[in-house]
Structure 1
Amino acid sequence: MSNPLVSVIIPTYNRAALVREAVESVLKQTYREIEIIVIDDGSTDDTAAAMQAYGNRIRYSRRPHAGENAARNVGFKQAKGQYLALLDSDDLWEPYKIELQVALLKKFSDVGFTFSNFAIFRGASPESGACHGDGIATWFEHEQARRDPYRWRQQFASLGLSVGAPLPRDFTVSGGDIYGASLFCPHVLPSTTLIRASALGTLRLQEFDLTCGDWEFFARLSKERGCVYADLETTFNRSHEDAVRLTRVDASTQLGRRIAMIDRVWRADRPFYSHHRDEVDEVQHRLLLQAAKQQLLTGRGAQARASLKRAKALRTDASMEESMLRALAGIPGSGLLLMALRASVHGMRRLAVRE
């Protein structure tokens, strides 16, 4: 019986050099039944020439610039594989990545996707730059995000799976549903995933939300079909600040997109919201205060007042910080005052450290 085809979808925009490295990491996979689909999202550099050099080893197509999630959705349409893998054009894979995850999806035939931990690196390559494992732990900034969402866990060695590629160590495999846990923070780096094509149905990535579209996608897919997590780094996530990274979007916009995602996912999910109302309200309340602060700092007083009004509706017992923000929101030019207060607090902290 032949192995199932895996369609690897690589969206890219103005990253001719980096996307070559991503493609090379796919070509080095120990699993061979792979088609590589590169969706050029309207690049203006020499991406087309770089990809044409691969000939029929990849399927390359170009579309008008519409964002990474739109390109990923185009890749879904073009894919012929039983399994789908997403790879960002600035990330890289370990050679065993696909072989390991195909084995997991064969073993756990009821789940919709599997994903893994990842390593973060700076520099030209994982070997030449600083590289740190357990990248997923850097996302769990709040106590609620550290709660274990999984129903079961086993050591990989105990599963009896046949993976020909050498793995660096034994590791924990966990299964369950990350839908509720995703309210607090993202749990899935898209480049670490392998998705069962039959599990998608009509689900696609939100193309209007470049910040949270993949976050929402995997939360919804997990709710529908569940997932399996491998606590092993299969992917290298490049830490850099090129011109097209989403981290370049200003903080206020990112916060607004996250608040809107919670509205359309967990708040709109009536059964979930009825059981977890306090948690949903608390997360949004905290985000609204952060948004109000950013809006004040950038001179958007009307937006800050709207954020604070909604925060008050979610929680009437205002903290000292919230009361201060409300007071500042009523003062023209209060952003300058807030920046001065922040600078004063930072100065006092530095002074305390010296002493």
Structure 2
Amino acid sequence: MSERRTAATVSVIIAAYNAEKYIAHAVDSVLAQSYPCVECIVVDDGSTDGTAEIVKGYGSRVRYLYQQNAERSAARNNGMREARGELISFLDADDLLAPEKLAEQAAFLAEHPEYDVAYSRVSYFNDKDGSSFTPQRRTPSGDIVADLLYGNFITIHSPLIRRDAALRGGGFDPACNRYEDWDFLLRLALAGAKFGFQDRLHAKVRLHPGNTIGDQVKMFEAKLRVAERIAEVYAAELKRRSVDVRGLVAFHQADYGRILVLAGRGAEGRALIREAVRIPFPNRKIFVVFGLAAGLFGSGILVAAQQLYDRVVKGKRAAKGGSA
């Protein structure tokens, strides 16, 4: 008789700060997993509301850890240090996991030992009206560094990660709390982790006024800072991969300039774009045209064009994605 394989334990780490409104929904989505071996860890990042009482109400079904407020990167690292599972998954306190996520991803990793990370699709839903959309993003497998360098297409709730790979990647940077997920995944990939994509919808991201993704200027500034740090720290590895480090940073500088223009800070944004496009990088001509259009017509017409694009494209995505 063949030896029966023991299911690997999955540790789901939820970083929570003043999350009393949503934390029960997040925890319930973890406890409702069809996978049999799940450890749910909530790291309370110094909450001053009722978060602690709600989580402690689950008793032994949830491990509650408290830390003085140090932001979510530190909370996730704390959760990883305390996790007992061979596989790690992350969830924000206002978001949800699909019931089959851990079962399907754990089975995928068991069948594919060549991959260190399994990732899949996520949908976004509006907390106010329930409307939703599922972004159609790049979905490469294997060594994904070349794709990941130019933007994050993996939402942090999506991956299931082998614990040893997560530790090799160095965890989250405690000084980075916007685009910290992209920074973490980039370092994970640059450390040699291989990613495998599953065409499944495995998580739901809640859109509400408290989201950090709501402040686009701060988010894209943070993206540029991450790109600058990666370019500096991993310069030798990027050179080995034939990546133009100056062009990489220039791309993200131009992208930040674009967001500044759309936010009404036209002169500042155009100056960043003009400086960036002196260096060759992918899609450079688009930014050249965008900068010229901003100078000729101002921010208003570009904002209207962006809003039209969002309505049309996201409307199509919502129709494909179905209800949240």
Range class of TM-score, shorter chain: 0.7 to 0.9
Three-state SS of the structure 2 residue aligned to 1:200 is: helix
**Conserved 8 A contact 2:231-2:238:** yes
The count of corresponding residues between Structure 1 and Structure 2 is 294
**Equivalent residue for 1:209?**
176
Task: For 1:232, give the aligned amino acid.
Answer: R
Alpha-carbon distance between aligned partners in 2 of 1:42 and 1:190, rounded to the nearest angstrom? 22
Alpha-carbon distance between aligned partners in 1 of 2:153 and 2:205, rounded to the nearest angstrom? 14
**Equivalent residue for 2:126?**
122
**Equivalent residue for 1:290?**
258
Task: For 1:227, give the aligned amino acid.
Answer: F
| Alpha-carbon offset, residue 13 of structure 1 | 1.0
Is residue 117 of structure 2 the alignment partner of residue 149 of structure 1? no
| Alpha-carbon offset, residue 256 of structure 1 | 2.4
**Equivalent residue for 2:187?**
220
| Alpha-carbon offset, residue 216 of structure 1 | 1.8
Cα distance change, pair 341–257 in 1 and its aligned pair in 2 (3 A):
same
**Conserved 8 A contact 2:262-2:302:** no
Alpha-carbon distance between aligned partners in 2 of 1:348 and 1:257, rounded to the nearest angstrom? 25
Aligned with 2:152 (options 167, 172, 186): 186
Alpha-carbon distance between aligned partners in 1 of 2:198 and 2:112, rounded to the nearest angstrom? 12
Aligned with 1:112 (options 84, 109, 116): 116
| Alpha-carbon offset, residue 24 of structure 1 | 0.6
**Equivalent residue for 1:341?**
298
| Alpha-carbon offset, residue 198 of structure 1 | 1.5
Alpha-carbon distance between aligned partners in 1 of 2:132 and 2:229, rounded to the nearest angstrom? 36
**Conserved 8 A contact 2:258-2:270:** no
Q: Deviations over 1:39-93 (max 9, x none)?
A: 0111111001111111111110111112111111110001011111111111111
Percent of aligned positions that are identical: 24
Alpha-carbon distance between aligned partners in 2 of 1:222 and 1:65, rounded to the nearest angstrom? 29
**Equivalent residue for 2:75?**
71
Cα distance change, pair 8–313 in 1 and its aligned pair in 2 (3 A):
same
**Residue ranges of structure 2 left out of the alignment (5+ in a row):** 308-324
**Conserved 8 A contact 2:264-2:299:** no
**Conserved 8 A contact 1:296-1:304:** no
Is residue 30 of structure 2 the alignment partner of residue 30 of structure 1? no
Cα distance change, pair 253–95 in 1 and its aligned pair in 2 (3 A):
closer
Task: For 1:311, give the aligned amino acid.
Answer: A
Aligned with 2:199 (options 228, 231, 237): 231
**Equivalent residue for 1:156?**
none
Three-state SS of the structure 2 residue aligned to 1:286 is: helix
**Conserved 8 A contact 1:112-1:222:** no
Is residue 61 of structure 2 the alignment partner of residue 95 of structure 1? no
Alpha-carbon distance between aligned partners in 1 of 2:301 and 2:261, rounded to the nearest angstrom? 16
Task: For 1:39, give the aligned amino acid.
Answer: V
Q: Deviations over 1:174-199 (max 9, x none)?
A: xx122111122212111121110121
> Aligned Cα RMSD in Å?
3.4
**Conserved 8 A contact 1:117-1:231:** yes
TM-score (norm: length of structure 2): 0.78
Say which one has the larger Rg: 1
**Equivalent residue for 2:226?**
261
TM-score (norm: length of structure 1): 0.72
